[in-house]
Chain A
Amino acid sequence: MLKVRIIPCLDVKDGRVVKGVKFLDLRDAGDPVEAARAYDAAGADELCFLDITASHEDRGILLDVVSRTAAECFMPLTVGGGVRSVADIRRLLLAGADKVSINTAAVNDRGFVREAAAKFGDQCIVVAIDAKRVSGEGEPDRWEIFTHGGRKPTGLDAIAFAREVVSLGAGELLVTSMDRDGTRSGYDLALVRAISDAVPVPVVASGGVGNLDDLVAGVREGRASAVLAASIFHFGEHTIGAAKRHMAAAGIPVRITP
């Protein structure tokens, strides 16, 4: 039976984990490779690196991080942040990424999704959808795509955008609620569910996890195929193992590793 994936996400800037990973007695809490190794050992089902390096010139540092991680962690690795060209994708895949997540570039040029999927296969093209609820009280739910960390509206309807990028070849969608991100108040379950029901590909729920019940709700109510979280794992509140046991107890199929 296919299991629901739990994916810790590490924000990486200039080759360092932003805010650090404060658990598991890492010698260097800011080293993404060491954090990756720890999550690998802890039974994470996949890892996600989100590069928030400001300048394009520093991208070589990320490639080195990806390459050193892939040399030690025999598990799937998704890398996103600042991916704008076929050459960017090729470099990440050659460094050892299995999937590449595209965000702003997909909003700006839908043809890029088609080109990337045709070149590298649907299975390695993830489109990251950052959405905010724009419907008012009492109106039918509506979400809009935002870029620039949720600051810039695009006028694009999130559900229609999701359908479109999947028709162009996106093999997975990473759906982040910009209303919930960082709030610890749980995923925007209506958003995750609306997108998951609209597309045939797997959807990863992201943004807002505050406790382990949020992970359960992401799957049960959001119908996500995978759940992504950052701070609840990085700061040692919950281990990957505890998250899996909690989900298993709620009847969700997860991969329990020894």
Chain B
Amino acid sequence: MSVAIVDYGSGNLNSAAKAFERAAREAGATGPITVTSDPDLVRRADRIVLPGVGAFADCRRGLDAVAGMTDAIREGAIDRGRPFLGICVGMQLMATRGLEHETTAGFDWIRGDVRAVQPSDPSLKIPHMGWNTLHPQQDHALLDGLELGPDGQHAYFVHSYALQAEDMDDVVACASYGGAVTALVARDNLAGTQFHPEKSQALGLRLITNFLHWSP
């Protein structure tokens, strides 16, 4: 099974690659895990991973600056139906629009906007930074074996904007931070995490393993 981690100049992909390699070893999955900016490799991959850090508009511009990449992701994930995982801003790009600094179009796979996190308690700090628990909204293969709820395992978040989905059927899990913050979305073969599985120790490695096993 080949996994393409899309490289478009957004942040460090080394730790994502290492986490996928570790999870693949533990899952007994074989096949290359490649950090790549080659649209052909992305188009042909069995699994597509889109990371992203920084601002929504910068990430979108960075992705569009790689000739053919946005099309390749769409062909792989939509036309060929390959499992897709967006991470952090990579997940936010699945939304209809991003409203960080300026209005920017997303892929419109998960209907909704990416808006500033505004906790009901004004003393809560922004960014939402650190370890938080996950609250499941529905069953999903990516949650297999994870300990969820207030006494469960933690995921590492660092973000100031969050996806507000129009259709709650797309929301698999939330975190609580002065209100519900979308943590995991999924629709068909498309999934995205606001948190960083590659930085979330046991929970993160298990989620990546689940993604590698996922047959939507």
Binding site for B on A (CB under 8 A): 1-5, 40, 45, 67, 70-72, 74-76, 93-98, 119-124, 171-172, 200-203, 225-226, 255, 257
The 6 A-B residue pairs with the shortest CB-CB distance, nearest first, are A121-B54, A202-B125, A255-B131, A70-B15, A123-B158, A71-B18
The answer to whether A3 touches B131 (Cβ under 8 A) is yes
Say yes or no for B55: interface residue by CB 8 A criterion.
Answer: yes
* Size of interface on B: residues with Cβ below 8 Å to A: 39
B51: shortest Cβ distance to chain A, in Å?
A: 12
The reply on B200 being an interface residue by CB < 8 A is yes
Decide yes or no whether B97 CB sits under 8 A from chain A: no
Interface: B70 (CB within 8 A): no
Contact of A3 among B53, B55, B132, B158 (CB under 8 A): B132
> Which B residues are in CB contact (< 8 Å) with A97?
12
Interface centre among A71, A172, A203 (most CB of B within 10 A): A71
> Which of A1, A5, A45 has its CB near the most chain B CB atoms (within 10 A)?
A1
Q: Enumerate chain A residues within 8 angstroms of B18, measured Cβ to Cβ.
A: 70-72, 74
Contact: B15 with A93, CB < 8 Å? no
Complex contact B129–A123 (CB within 8 A):
yes
Could you list 16 examples of A-B contacts with CB < 8 Å?
Answer: A3-B132, A4-B130, A40-B201, A71-B18, A72-B18, A74-B205, A76-B156, A76-B158, A76-B196, A95-B12, A119-B54, A120-B53, A121-B54, A171-B129, A203-B125, A257-B202
Q: Is the CB of A96 within 8 A of B14?
A: yes
Interface of chain B: mostly helix, strand, loop or mixed: mixed
* Contact flag A1-B55 (CB < 8 Å), given A94-B12, A225-B129: no
The residue in A1, A2, A72, A75 that gathers the most chain B C-beta atoms within 10 A of its C-beta is: A2
Complex Cα spacing A203 to B123, Å: 12
B60 contacts chain A at the CB level, 8 A cutoff? no
**Min CB gap A138→B, angstroms:** 30
B107 contact set on A, CB distance < 8 A:
none
Contacts A123-B54, A202-B130 aside, 17 further interface pairs with beta carbons under 8 A come to A1-B150, A2-B132, A40-B201, A70-B14, A71-B15, A71-B18, A74-B19, A74-B205, A75-B201, A76-B158, A95-B12, A124-B53, A171-B129, A172-B129, A202-B125, A202-B127, A226-B130
Q: Is B82 an interface residue (CB 8 A)?
A: no
A residues less than 8 Å from B205 (CB atoms):
74
* B129 near A75: Cβ-Cβ < 8 Å: no
Contact (A122, B19) CB under 8 Å given A71-B14, A74-B199, A74-B204: no
Interface centre among B22, B128, B129, B201, by most A CB within 10 Å?
A: B129
Choose from A3, A95, A203 the contact partner of B14 (Cβ within 8 Å): A95
Which chain A residue shows the least CB distance to B13?
A94
- Asked whether B30 is an interface residue with its Cβ less than 8 Å from the other chain, the reply is no
Residue of B14, B124, B129, B133 near A67 (CB, 8 A) is B14
Interface core residue of B125, B150, B160, B205 (most chain A CB under 10 Å): B125
Nearest A residue to B154 by beta-carbon distance? Answer: A255
B199 touches A123 (CB 8 A): no
